[in-house]
């Protein structure tokens, strides 16, 4: 697994007002990697094939949405909605990042692509039905990577999303397809985008291929690590041929935008799980706005790389909430197992 920093993420798509999703995030990650002595390569989006990238974007989103973005881009700087801004160069960076995600998976090159803007809230036509905003996201990078793996001929594809917020855009785009999507996120009654309930298990061909794992507020490592164990049982049996990870680090305690209390032990467990599944993997950076981008991200990489640090388990989860979350997750995973292990 190589670490790839998208260079222009540091220079492009700058907000003109105070906003948590800004180039400083990638500066933070870069310095954390350097401080810890991790080597990474820098990819530039300069010279990418714009019209090819547009075509890829139109295989993930509707043509109308992409044309709407192009039109908006000519009027930029502009606010798409109350959460999401578009600077003059935003669409270029978003297309460049999506294009990279697609190319890496098409070539089965395993990599952690560290770039922005994030993508997992961007649905087929932008914000998904009933959701008020597209939550900082322009184009769905994870969906681009999934398309790449499909085009490369893989059948059993896993999309894992552990950002604090539900990956509603990615879930919507593949809701009727046989892509196994496992999404861990804070209880949607308490957090944007207020979607991702356990009974949302997919439709049509995709029925039983969607596992929404709800984390009660203040979930700590004790619960998360236990949930990873339950998910692991399913995924090891499923044995995915390719993996796309939406890696957000905003569930880290005090990262700022959620009410979860994960620390290194959780992200290390998630990284170790992905490593154990041992398939071509493209990881995309989603959220993470402060401490999570350093401590969470580094622990995740240590898990991916098979290092063995000692992390204490922070046991903060309220006990009743913990029991209910485990019961609900078991029910979801039972339902999903019945379907995906039968048809795999
Ligand atoms: Zn998030």
Asked if 165 is an active-site residue, the reply is no
Task: Say if residues 185 and 161 touch (Cβ distance below 8 Å).
Answer: yes
Q: Which two tokens stand for residue 301?
A: 């990489």
Protein residues near ligand 1, an ion, with CB under 5 A:
163-165, 248, 250, 287
Cross-strand partners of 213: 184
Report pLDDT for 196. Answer: 98
- Average confidence (pLDDT) per 10 residues, the chain, 344 residues: 97 98 98 97 95 97 98 97 98 98 98 98 97 98 98 98 98 98 98 98 98 97 97 98 98 97 98 98 98 98 96 89 96 97 77
CA of 138 to the centre of ligand 1 (A): 14
Return the pLDDT at 314: 85
Distance CA 43, CA 75 (A): 28
Identify the pLDDT of residue 316: 80
Domain boundaries 2-343, CATH class: alpha beta
Distance (angstroms) between ligand 1 centre and the Cα of 287 equals 4
Q: 288 CA to middle of ligand 1, Å?
A: 7
Cα 153 to middle of ligand 1, angstroms: 30
Half-sphere exposure at residue 233, Cβ-oriented, CA atoms within 13 angstroms: 11
Centroid of ligand 1 to alpha carbon of 344 (angstroms): 30
Look up residue 56 and give its two tokens.
């890829």
Domain boundaries, the chain: 2-343
Q: Which of 61, 121, 165, 166 is an active site residue?
A: 121
pTM > 0.85: yes
Enclosing H/E stretch for 92: helix 90-106
Distance 190 CA to ligand 1 centre (A): 13
Between the CA of 286 and the centroid of ligand 1 the distance, in Å, is 7
């Amino acid at each position: 697994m190589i670490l790839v920093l998208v260079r222009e993420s540091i220079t492009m798509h700058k907000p003109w007002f105070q906003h948590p999703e800004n180039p400083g995030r990638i500066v933070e990650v870069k310095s954390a990697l350097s401080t810890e002595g991790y080597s990474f390569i820098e990819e530039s989006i300069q010279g990418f094939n714009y019209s090819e990238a547009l075509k890829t974007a139109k295989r993930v989103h509707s043509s109308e949405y992409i044309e709407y973005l192009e039109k908006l881009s000519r009027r930029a700087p502009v606010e798409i909605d109350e959460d999401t801004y578009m600077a003059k160069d935003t669409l270029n960076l978003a297309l460049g990042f999506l294009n990279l995600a697609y190319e890496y998976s098409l070539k089965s090159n395993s990599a952690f692509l560290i770039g922005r803007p994030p993508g997992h809230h961007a649905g087929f036509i932008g914000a998904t039905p009933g959701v008020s905003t597209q939550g900082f996201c322009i184009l769905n990078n994870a969906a681009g990577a999934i398309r790449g793996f499909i085009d490369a001929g893989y059948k059993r594809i896993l999309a894992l999303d552990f950002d604090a917020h539900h990956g509603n855009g990615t879930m919507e785009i593949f809701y009727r397809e046989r892509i196994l999507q496992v999404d861990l996120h804070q209880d949607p009654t308490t957090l944007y985008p207020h979607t991702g309930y356990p009974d949302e298990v997919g439709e049509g061909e995709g029925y039983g291929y969607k596992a929404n794992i709800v984390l009660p507020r203040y979930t700590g490592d004790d619960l998360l690590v236990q949930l990873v164990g339950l998910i692991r049982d399913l995924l090891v049996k499923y044995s995915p041929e390719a993996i796309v990870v939406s890696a957000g680090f905003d569930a880290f305690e005090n990262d700022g935008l959620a009410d979860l209390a994960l620390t290194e032990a959780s992200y290390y467990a998630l990284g170790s799980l992905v490593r154990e599944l041992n398939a071509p993997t493209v990881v995309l950076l989603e959220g993470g706005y402060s401490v999570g981008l350093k401590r969470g991200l580094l622990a995740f990489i240590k898990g991916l790389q098979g290092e063995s640090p000692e992390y204490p388990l922070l046991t903060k989860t309220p006990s009743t909430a913990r029991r209910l979350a485990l019961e609900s997750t078991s029910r979801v995973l039972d339902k999903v197992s019945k379907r995906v292990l039968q048809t795999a």
